[in-house]
A and B are shown apart, each in its own frame.
Chain A
Protein backbone atom coordinates (compact mmCIF):
# COMPACT_ATOMS: atom_id res chain seq x y z
CA UNK A 1 0.00 0.00 0.00
CA UNK A 2 1.19 3.53 -0.73
CA UNK A 3 2.99 5.13 2.14
CA UNK A 4 0.65 8.06 2.54
CA UNK A 5 2.22 9.05 5.81
CA UNK A 6 5.58 9.72 4.16
CA UNK A 7 4.55 13.07 2.67
CA UNK A 8 3.62 14.47 6.07
CA UNK A 9 6.52 12.98 7.91
CA UNK A 10 8.38 16.09 9.16
CA UNK A 11 9.88 14.44 12.19
CA UNK A 12 9.89 11.07 13.87
CA UNK A 13 7.00 12.26 16.12
CA UNK A 14 4.64 12.79 13.11
CA UNK A 15 4.91 9.19 11.89
CA UNK A 16 1.29 8.17 12.66
CA UNK A 17 -0.59 11.22 11.37
CA UNK A 18 -1.21 9.83 7.86
CA UNK A 19 -3.66 7.24 9.24
CA UNK A 20 -6.49 9.78 9.32
CA UNK A 21 -6.12 10.61 5.65
CA UNK A 22 -5.77 6.97 4.74
CA UNK A 23 -9.03 6.02 6.41
CA UNK A 24 -10.84 9.06 5.03
CA UNK A 25 -9.54 8.43 1.54
CA UNK A 26 -10.66 4.86 1.61
CA UNK A 27 -14.12 5.84 2.89
CA UNK A 28 -14.55 8.36 0.11
CA UNK A 29 -13.37 5.78 -2.41
CA UNK A 30 -16.00 3.35 -1.14
CA UNK A 31 -18.68 6.05 -1.36
CA UNK A 32 -17.70 6.84 -4.92
CA UNK A 33 -17.87 3.18 -5.88
CA UNK A 34 -21.34 2.99 -4.33
CA UNK A 35 -22.31 6.10 -6.27
CA UNK A 36 -21.17 4.49 -9.50
CA UNK A 37 -23.32 1.46 -8.75
CA UNK A 38 -26.27 3.72 -8.05
CA UNK A 39 -25.84 5.65 -11.27
CA UNK A 40 -25.62 2.34 -13.03
CA UNK A 41 -29.03 1.47 -11.62
CA UNK A 42 -30.37 4.75 -12.94
CA UNK A 43 -28.97 4.08 -16.38
CA UNK A 44 -30.50 0.62 -16.36
CA UNK A 45 -33.86 2.03 -15.26
CA UNK A 46 -33.85 4.60 -18.03
CA UNK A 47 -32.98 1.85 -20.45
CA UNK A 48 -35.91 -0.26 -19.28
CA UNK A 49 -38.17 2.78 -19.56
CA UNK A 50 -37.40 3.23 -23.23
CA UNK A 51 -37.78 -0.45 -24.04
CA UNK A 52 -40.99 -1.75 -25.59
CA UNK A 53 -43.53 -2.93 -23.07
CA UNK A 54 -44.59 -6.51 -22.72
CA UNK A 55 -47.38 -7.13 -25.20
CA UNK A 56 -48.70 -10.53 -24.20
CA UNK A 57 -52.18 -9.09 -23.69
CA UNK A 58 -52.09 -7.89 -27.28
CA UNK A 59 -51.21 -11.41 -28.40
CA UNK A 60 -54.30 -12.71 -26.63
CA UNK A 61 -56.48 -10.09 -28.30
CA UNK A 62 -54.94 -10.81 -31.65
CA UNK A 63 -55.59 -14.51 -31.23
CA UNK A 64 -59.21 -13.81 -30.36
CA UNK A 65 -59.66 -11.59 -33.42
CA UNK A 66 -58.05 -14.14 -35.73
CA UNK A 67 -60.23 -16.95 -34.40
CA UNK A 68 -63.44 -14.95 -34.69
CA UNK A 69 -62.67 -13.83 -38.24
CA UNK A 70 -61.61 -17.31 -39.34
CA UNK A 71 -64.54 -19.15 -37.79
CA UNK A 72 -66.94 -16.62 -39.31
CA UNK A 73 -65.32 -17.22 -42.68
CA UNK A 74 -65.40 -21.03 -42.33
CA UNK A 75 -69.10 -20.98 -41.49
CA UNK A 76 -69.86 -18.50 -44.27
CA UNK A 77 -68.03 -20.65 -46.82
CA UNK A 78 -69.89 -23.77 -45.77
CA UNK A 79 -73.24 -21.99 -45.64
CA UNK A 80 -72.79 -20.70 -49.17
CA UNK A 81 -72.55 -24.22 -50.53
CA UNK A 82 -75.63 -26.25 -51.25
CA UNK A 83 -75.82 -28.58 -48.28
CA UNK A 84 -78.28 -31.41 -48.76
CA UNK A 85 -76.89 -33.32 -45.80
CA UNK A 86 -76.58 -31.73 -42.39
CA UNK A 87 -74.04 -34.27 -41.12
CA UNK A 88 -71.62 -33.46 -43.94
CA UNK A 89 -71.96 -29.73 -43.31
CA UNK A 90 -71.30 -30.26 -39.61
CA UNK A 91 -68.24 -32.39 -40.36
CA UNK A 92 -66.87 -29.78 -42.74
CA UNK A 93 -67.17 -27.05 -40.16
CA UNK A 94 -65.69 -29.22 -37.42
CA UNK A 95 -62.76 -30.20 -39.62
CA UNK A 96 -62.19 -26.62 -40.71
CA UNK A 97 -62.15 -25.46 -37.13
CA UNK A 98 -59.79 -28.25 -36.09
CA UNK A 99 -57.42 -27.29 -38.89
CA UNK A 100 -57.56 -23.66 -37.84
CA UNK A 101 -56.86 -24.59 -34.24
CA UNK A 102 -53.91 -26.74 -35.22
CA UNK A 103 -52.21 -24.10 -37.32
CA UNK A 104 -52.78 -21.27 -34.84
CA UNK A 105 -51.85 -23.31 -31.81
CA UNK A 106 -48.57 -24.39 -33.40
CA UNK A 107 -47.59 -20.77 -33.86
CA UNK A 108 -48.37 -19.87 -30.28
CA UNK A 109 -46.73 -22.95 -28.81
CA UNK A 110 -43.47 -21.80 -30.35
CA UNK A 111 -43.75 -18.71 -28.18
CA UNK A 112 -44.70 -20.64 -25.08
CA UNK A 113 -48.40 -19.94 -25.14
CA UNK A 114 -51.38 -22.23 -25.32
CA UNK A 115 -54.13 -21.03 -27.61
CA UNK A 116 -57.28 -23.07 -27.59
CA UNK A 117 -60.71 -22.78 -29.16
CA UNK A 118 -63.86 -24.83 -29.09
CA UNK A 119 -66.97 -24.41 -31.19
CA UNK A 120 -70.51 -24.93 -30.00
CA UNK A 121 -72.72 -24.50 -33.05
CA UNK A 122 -76.44 -24.50 -33.73
CA UNK A 123 -77.81 -26.05 -36.90
CA UNK A 124 -80.32 -24.40 -39.15
CA UNK A 125 -82.08 -24.78 -42.45
CA UNK A 126 -82.69 -22.29 -45.22
CA UNK A 127 -85.76 -22.94 -47.37
CA UNK A 128 -86.93 -20.93 -50.33
CA UNK A 129 -89.20 -20.86 -53.32
CA UNK A 130 -87.45 -19.32 -56.26
CA UNK A 131 -89.97 -19.30 -59.07
CA UNK A 132 -93.32 -17.68 -58.59
CA UNK A 133 -96.13 -20.07 -57.70
CA UNK A 134 -98.60 -20.56 -54.89
CA UNK A 135 -97.34 -21.32 -51.38
CA UNK A 136 -98.64 -24.88 -51.09
CA UNK A 137 -96.08 -27.55 -50.11
CA UNK A 138 -94.20 -29.15 -52.98
CA UNK A 139 -95.79 -32.31 -54.26
CA UNK A 140 -99.06 -31.55 -52.55
CA UNK A 141 -101.97 -29.17 -52.91
CA UNK A 142 -102.74 -28.77 -49.18
CA UNK A 143 -103.83 -25.18 -48.71
CA UNK A 144 -103.19 -25.25 -44.96
CA UNK A 145 -99.86 -26.58 -43.81
CA UNK A 146 -97.12 -26.09 -41.27
CA UNK A 147 -94.00 -24.68 -42.86
CA UNK A 148 -91.78 -24.93 -39.81
CA UNK A 149 -92.20 -26.49 -36.40
CA UNK A 150 -90.44 -25.85 -33.11
CA UNK A 151 -88.55 -22.79 -34.30
CA UNK A 152 -85.95 -21.55 -31.85
CA UNK A 153 -84.92 -18.51 -33.79
CA UNK A 154 -85.46 -17.13 -37.25
CA UNK A 155 -83.16 -14.67 -38.99
CA UNK A 156 -84.70 -14.46 -42.40
CA UNK A 157 -88.34 -14.66 -43.38
CA UNK A 158 -89.43 -12.69 -46.40
CA UNK A 159 -91.69 -13.16 -49.38
CA UNK A 160 -92.96 -11.46 -52.49
CA UNK A 161 -96.64 -11.72 -53.35
CA UNK A 162 -98.48 -10.86 -56.54
CA UNK A 163 -101.69 -8.92 -56.27
CA UNK A 164 -103.44 -10.91 -58.98
CA UNK A 165 -103.15 -14.09 -56.92
CA UNK A 166 -104.50 -12.59 -53.70
CA UNK A 167 -108.13 -12.64 -52.55
CA UNK A 168 -110.28 -10.40 -50.41
CA UNK A 169 -110.06 -10.23 -46.60
CA UNK A 170 -112.67 -12.95 -46.04
CA UNK A 171 -110.56 -15.56 -47.80
CA UNK A 172 -107.11 -14.06 -47.26
CA UNK A 173 -103.82 -15.92 -47.26
CA UNK A 174 -102.71 -16.02 -43.61
CA UNK A 175 -99.38 -16.57 -41.91
CA UNK A 176 -99.86 -17.96 -38.41
CA UNK A 177 -96.87 -17.67 -36.14
CA UNK A 178 -96.92 -19.23 -32.68
CA UNK A 179 -100.05 -18.81 -30.63
CA UNK A 180 -100.83 -15.12 -30.99
CA UNK A 181 -99.64 -13.88 -34.38
CA UNK A 182 -101.83 -14.08 -37.42
CA UNK A 183 -100.89 -11.94 -40.40
CA UNK A 184 -103.35 -11.75 -43.27
CA UNK A 185 -102.36 -10.70 -46.77
CA UNK A 186 -105.11 -9.68 -49.15
CA UNK A 187 -106.02 -7.17 -51.84
CA UNK A 188 -108.77 -4.63 -52.31
CA UNK A 189 -108.60 -4.03 -56.05
CA UNK A 190 -105.81 -1.45 -55.97
CA UNK A 191 -103.61 -2.27 -52.97
CA UNK A 192 -101.90 -5.25 -51.41
CA UNK A 193 -102.77 -5.10 -47.72
CA UNK A 194 -100.98 -6.65 -44.76
CA UNK A 195 -103.09 -6.90 -41.61
CA UNK A 196 -102.37 -8.47 -38.22
CA UNK A 197 -105.80 -7.70 -36.76
CA UNK A 198 -104.83 -4.45 -35.05
CA UNK A 199 -102.60 -2.70 -37.58
CA UNK A 200 -102.52 -2.77 -41.33
CA UNK A 201 -100.41 -1.37 -44.12
CA UNK A 202 -100.92 -1.21 -47.83
CA UNK A 203 -98.86 -0.87 -50.98
CA UNK A 204 -99.58 -0.48 -54.66
CA UNK A 205 -96.28 -2.06 -55.66
CA UNK A 206 -96.84 -5.34 -57.40
CA UNK A 207 -95.41 -7.76 -56.48
CA UNK A 208 -95.01 -6.55 -52.90
CA UNK A 209 -92.02 -7.51 -50.78
CA UNK A 210 -92.88 -8.51 -47.22
CA UNK A 211 -90.07 -8.82 -44.68
CA UNK A 212 -91.19 -10.40 -41.42
CA UNK A 213 -87.82 -9.96 -39.73
CA UNK A 214 -87.24 -6.28 -40.44
CA UNK A 215 -91.00 -5.62 -40.25
CA UNK A 216 -91.17 -3.86 -43.59
CA UNK A 217 -93.56 -3.83 -46.50
CA UNK A 218 -91.70 -2.78 -49.65
CA UNK A 219 -88.92 -1.31 -47.56
CA UNK A 220 -91.23 0.88 -45.46
CA UNK A 221 -91.94 0.24 -41.78
CA UNK A 222 -95.10 -1.77 -41.29
CA UNK A 223 -96.48 -2.10 -37.73
CA UNK A 224 -98.67 -5.02 -38.83
CA UNK A 225 -95.47 -7.04 -39.25
CA UNK A 226 -94.26 -6.36 -35.70
CA UNK A 227 -94.59 -9.75 -34.13
CA UNK A 228 -92.81 -11.54 -31.35
CA UNK A 229 -93.29 -15.04 -30.04
CA UNK A 230 -91.48 -16.91 -27.34
CA UNK A 231 -89.72 -19.97 -28.78
CA UNK A 232 -90.31 -22.64 -29.73
CA UNK A 233 -93.13 -21.74 -32.11
CA UNK A 234 -94.57 -22.93 -35.41
CA UNK A 235 -95.17 -21.11 -38.69
CA UNK A 236 -98.28 -22.11 -40.60
CA UNK A 237 -99.53 -21.03 -44.02
CA UNK A 238 -103.32 -20.91 -44.17
CA UNK A 239 -105.01 -20.74 -47.58
CA UNK A 240 -101.61 -20.95 -49.23
CA UNK A 241 -103.32 -21.35 -52.59
CA UNK A 242 -104.68 -17.79 -52.27
CA UNK A 243 -101.30 -16.24 -52.92
CA UNK A 244 -98.41 -16.62 -55.32
CA UNK A 245 -94.85 -15.44 -55.40
CA UNK A 246 -91.58 -16.38 -53.76
CA UNK A 247 -90.50 -16.84 -50.17
CA UNK A 248 -87.34 -17.53 -48.20
CA UNK A 249 -86.73 -18.33 -44.58
CA UNK A 250 -83.79 -19.33 -42.42
CA UNK A 251 -84.61 -20.90 -39.09
CA UNK A 252 -82.54 -22.40 -36.35
CA UNK A 253 -82.67 -26.08 -35.77
CA UNK A 254 -82.16 -28.07 -38.92
CA UNK A 255 -85.18 -30.24 -38.14
CA UNK A 256 -87.69 -27.36 -38.08
CA UNK A 257 -88.49 -27.57 -41.79
CA UNK A 258 -89.20 -30.84 -43.59
CA UNK A 259 -87.03 -30.71 -46.75
CA UNK A 260 -89.60 -32.53 -48.90
CA UNK A 261 -92.23 -29.84 -48.17
CA UNK A 262 -90.29 -26.97 -49.71
CA UNK A 263 -89.09 -26.42 -53.29
CA UNK A 264 -85.49 -25.65 -52.30
CA UNK A 265 -83.51 -26.03 -49.12
CA UNK A 266 -79.99 -26.06 -47.82
CA UNK A 267 -78.70 -26.83 -44.36
CA UNK A 268 -76.75 -24.07 -42.66
CA UNK A 269 -74.87 -23.41 -39.47
CA UNK A 270 -77.26 -20.96 -37.85
CA UNK A 271 -74.85 -19.53 -35.31
CA UNK A 272 -72.07 -20.63 -33.01
CA UNK A 273 -70.45 -19.85 -29.69
CA UNK A 274 -66.69 -19.96 -29.85
CA UNK A 275 -64.88 -20.42 -26.58
CA UNK A 276 -61.42 -18.93 -26.83
CA UNK A 277 -58.68 -19.65 -24.32
CA UNK A 278 -55.25 -18.08 -24.36
CA UNK A 279 -52.65 -18.93 -21.78
CA UNK A 280 -49.13 -17.64 -21.71
CA UNK A 281 -46.64 -17.06 -18.95
CA UNK A 282 -48.27 -13.84 -17.81
CA UNK A 283 -51.71 -13.84 -19.38
CA UNK A 284 -54.65 -16.12 -18.74
CA UNK A 285 -57.60 -15.21 -20.94
CA UNK A 286 -60.90 -16.85 -21.68
CA UNK A 287 -63.90 -15.49 -23.49
CA UNK A 288 -66.85 -16.79 -25.46
CA UNK A 289 -67.72 -15.07 -28.72
CA UNK A 290 -71.04 -15.42 -30.49
CA UNK A 291 -70.69 -15.80 -34.25
CA UNK A 292 -73.66 -15.45 -36.57
CA UNK A 293 -73.74 -17.83 -39.49
CA UNK A 294 -73.77 -15.94 -42.77
CA UNK A 295 -76.81 -16.14 -45.04
CA UNK A 296 -76.51 -18.73 -47.79
CA UNK A 297 -77.15 -16.20 -50.53
Chain B
Protein backbone atom coordinates (compact mmCIF):
# COMPACT_ATOMS: atom_id res chain seq x y z
CA UNK B 1 0.00 0.00 0.00
CA UNK B 2 2.98 2.31 0.43
CA UNK B 3 3.34 2.94 -3.36
CA UNK B 4 -0.30 4.03 -3.66
CA UNK B 5 0.39 7.36 -2.01
CA UNK B 6 2.59 8.25 -4.97
CA UNK B 7 -0.18 7.18 -7.36
CA UNK B 8 -2.65 9.60 -5.79
CA UNK B 9 -0.29 12.58 -6.10
CA UNK B 10 0.62 11.71 -9.67
CA UNK B 11 -3.02 11.21 -10.52
CA UNK B 12 -3.88 14.56 -8.97
CA UNK B 13 -1.22 16.55 -10.79
CA UNK B 14 -1.78 14.76 -14.09
CA UNK B 15 -5.46 15.60 -14.02
CA UNK B 16 -4.64 19.16 -13.13
CA UNK B 17 -2.08 19.53 -15.94
CA UNK B 18 -4.26 17.90 -18.58
CA UNK B 19 -7.31 19.95 -17.60
CA UNK B 20 -5.27 23.14 -17.66
CA UNK B 21 -3.89 22.27 -21.10
CA UNK B 22 -7.27 21.49 -22.55
CA UNK B 23 -8.94 24.53 -21.06
CA UNK B 24 -6.02 26.76 -22.03
CA UNK B 25 -6.24 25.48 -25.58
CA UNK B 26 -9.97 26.08 -25.69
CA UNK B 27 -9.60 29.60 -24.36
CA UNK B 28 -6.90 30.39 -26.86
CA UNK B 29 -8.93 29.05 -29.74
CA UNK B 30 -12.01 30.96 -28.65
CA UNK B 31 -9.93 34.12 -28.23
CA UNK B 32 -8.41 33.72 -31.67
CA UNK B 33 -11.80 33.16 -33.23
CA UNK B 34 -13.09 36.26 -31.44
CA UNK B 35 -10.25 38.33 -32.75
CA UNK B 36 -10.52 37.23 -36.37
CA UNK B 37 -14.29 37.67 -36.34
CA UNK B 38 -13.93 41.12 -34.80
CA UNK B 39 -11.51 42.06 -37.55
CA UNK B 40 -13.84 40.76 -40.25
CA UNK B 41 -16.76 42.62 -38.71
CA UNK B 42 -14.79 45.87 -38.66
CA UNK B 43 -13.69 45.42 -42.23
CA UNK B 44 -17.25 44.74 -43.35
CA UNK B 45 -18.60 47.73 -41.52
CA UNK B 46 -15.88 50.08 -42.76
CA UNK B 47 -16.54 48.97 -46.30
CA UNK B 48 -20.25 49.65 -46.02
CA UNK B 49 -19.62 53.04 -44.39
CA UNK B 50 -17.14 53.80 -47.17
CA UNK B 51 -19.79 53.06 -49.78
CA UNK B 52 -22.18 55.42 -48.05
CA UNK B 53 -19.58 58.16 -47.90
CA UNK B 54 -18.86 57.58 -51.60
CA UNK B 55 -22.58 57.93 -52.33
CA UNK B 56 -22.75 61.21 -50.40
CA UNK B 57 -19.66 62.50 -52.21
CA UNK B 58 -21.06 61.56 -55.60
CA UNK B 59 -24.42 63.08 -54.71
CA UNK B 60 -22.75 66.35 -53.77
CA UNK B 61 -20.67 66.16 -56.94
CA UNK B 62 -23.80 65.78 -59.03
CA UNK B 63 -25.29 68.86 -57.38
CA UNK B 64 -22.14 70.84 -58.11
CA UNK B 65 -22.01 69.65 -61.71
CA UNK B 66 -25.58 70.77 -62.36
CA UNK B 67 -25.15 74.07 -60.51
CA UNK B 68 -21.91 74.86 -62.37
CA UNK B 69 -23.70 74.34 -65.66
CA UNK B 70 -26.38 76.77 -64.44
CA UNK B 71 -23.66 79.37 -64.22
CA UNK B 72 -24.87 81.22 -61.14
CA UNK B 73 -23.54 81.35 -57.59
CA UNK B 74 -23.45 77.94 -55.98
CA UNK B 75 -23.92 76.64 -52.50
CA UNK B 76 -23.66 72.94 -51.86
CA UNK B 77 -23.34 71.25 -48.49
CA UNK B 78 -24.14 67.62 -47.80
CA UNK B 79 -24.00 66.09 -44.35
CA UNK B 80 -22.75 62.55 -44.38
CA UNK B 81 -24.03 60.47 -41.48
CA UNK B 82 -22.43 57.17 -40.53
CA UNK B 83 -21.98 55.34 -37.22
CA UNK B 84 -19.19 56.86 -35.13
CA UNK B 85 -17.76 53.42 -34.41
CA UNK B 86 -17.10 50.43 -36.59
CA UNK B 87 -16.97 47.07 -34.80
CA UNK B 88 -16.48 48.85 -31.51
CA UNK B 89 -13.55 51.08 -32.46
CA UNK B 90 -13.58 54.62 -33.77
CA UNK B 91 -12.11 55.21 -37.20
CA UNK B 92 -10.81 57.86 -39.57
CA UNK B 93 -11.88 58.68 -43.12
CA UNK B 94 -9.49 60.10 -45.71
CA UNK B 95 -10.82 61.39 -49.02
CA UNK B 96 -8.42 61.66 -51.93
CA UNK B 97 -9.82 63.42 -54.99
CA UNK B 98 -6.82 62.67 -57.20
CA UNK B 99 -7.01 58.92 -56.95
CA UNK B 100 -10.75 59.00 -56.28
CA UNK B 101 -10.41 56.81 -53.22
CA UNK B 102 -11.80 56.88 -49.73
CA UNK B 103 -9.58 55.22 -47.15
CA UNK B 104 -11.06 54.18 -43.84
CA UNK B 105 -9.07 52.77 -40.97
CA UNK B 106 -9.70 52.07 -37.31
CA UNK B 107 -7.67 54.11 -34.84
CA UNK B 108 -6.03 50.97 -33.44
CA UNK B 109 -4.83 50.58 -37.05
CA UNK B 110 -5.50 46.91 -37.46
CA UNK B 111 -8.06 47.30 -40.25
CA UNK B 112 -7.85 49.48 -43.36
CA UNK B 113 -10.35 49.58 -46.22
CA UNK B 114 -10.32 51.47 -49.52
CA UNK B 115 -13.42 52.39 -51.48
CA UNK B 116 -13.41 53.94 -54.96
CA UNK B 117 -15.72 56.68 -56.14
CA UNK B 118 -16.24 58.66 -59.32
CA UNK B 119 -16.57 62.42 -59.00
CA UNK B 120 -15.10 65.43 -60.79
CA UNK B 121 -15.21 68.10 -58.14
CA UNK B 122 -13.62 66.51 -55.11
CA UNK B 123 -10.47 68.40 -54.11
CA UNK B 124 -7.15 66.68 -54.55
CA UNK B 125 -5.85 67.25 -51.03
CA UNK B 126 -5.94 64.25 -48.81
CA UNK B 127 -8.65 65.30 -46.39
CA UNK B 128 -8.96 63.32 -43.18
CA UNK B 129 -11.88 63.46 -40.78
CA UNK B 130 -13.00 61.40 -37.83
CA UNK B 131 -15.60 58.85 -38.83
CA UNK B 132 -19.21 59.58 -38.02
CA UNK B 133 -21.01 62.73 -39.02
CA UNK B 134 -19.13 65.17 -41.20
CA UNK B 135 -19.82 67.70 -43.88
CA UNK B 136 -19.06 67.74 -47.61
CA UNK B 137 -19.02 71.36 -48.75
CA UNK B 138 -18.33 73.25 -51.96
CA UNK B 139 -15.73 75.91 -51.19
CA UNK B 140 -15.90 77.79 -54.50
CA UNK B 141 -13.54 75.57 -56.45
CA UNK B 142 -14.23 72.06 -55.28
CA UNK B 143 -15.69 69.78 -52.65
CA UNK B 144 -13.97 69.60 -49.30
CA UNK B 145 -14.67 67.30 -46.40
CA UNK B 146 -14.70 68.79 -42.93
CA UNK B 147 -15.93 68.07 -39.43
CA UNK B 148 -19.05 69.98 -38.46
Contact = CB atoms under 8 A, between A and B. Distances in A.
Interface in A275-297: 275, 281-290
Nearest to B81: A282
B26 A57 contact: no
A17 interface: yes
A64 B41 CA distance: 40
Interface string A25-66: 001100110110011011001101100011111101100100
A57 B62 contact: yes
B72 A20 contact: no
B124 interface: no
Q: Which of A17, A45, A55, A60 has the most CB of B within 10 A?
A: A45
A35 B37 contact: yes
A133 to B, nearest CB: 42
A64 B26 contact: no
A14 interface: yes
Given A32-B30, A282-B78, A48 B48 contact: yes
Nearest to A288: B72
A41 B66 contact: no
Contact of B87 (A38, A48, A57, A58): A38
Contact of B67 (A28, A54, A287): A287
Contact-size category for B: 35 or more
A288 B73 contact: yes
Interface residues of A, number: 43
A38 B41 contact: yes
Contacts of B80: 282
B34 interface: yes
Interface in B77-120: 77-81, 87
The SS class assigned to the B binding surface is helix
A140 interface: no
B31 A31 contact: yes
Interface string B1-44: 00000001000100110011001001100110110011011001
Given A42-B44, A45-B45, A61-B66, A28 B26 contact: yes
Interface in A184-235: none
A115 to B, nearest CB: 14
A13 B7 CA distance: 14
Nearest to A289: B70
Contacts of B140: none
A30 to B, nearest CB: 9
Nearest to B42: A41
A41 B45 CA distance: 8
A98 interface: no
B74 interface: yes
Contacts of B66: 61, 64, 287
A42 B41 contact: yes
Nearest to B52: A53
B59 interface: yes
A45 B15 contact: no
B27 A24 contact: yes
B23 A24 contact: yes
Contact of A28 (B30, B59, B63): B30
A287 B62 CA distance: 13
Interface in A146-178: none
B71 A290 contact: yes
B55 interface: yes
Interface of B: 8, 12, 15-16, 19-20, 23, 26-27, 30-31, 33-34, 37-38, 40-41, 44-45, 47-48, 51-52, 55-56, 59-60, 62-63, 66-67, 70-81, 87
Across the A-B interface, the 7 shortest Cβ-Cβ residue pairs: A288-B72, A57-B59, A286-B75, A287-B67, A24-B23, A284-B77, A282-B79
22 contacts: A13-B8, A17-B16, A20-B16, A20-B19, A24-B26, A28-B30, A31-B31, A34-B34, A38-B87, A42-B41, A42-B44, A45-B41, A49-B47, A54-B55, A55-B59, A273-B72, A282-B78, A283-B63, A284-B78, A287-B66, A287-B70, A289-B72
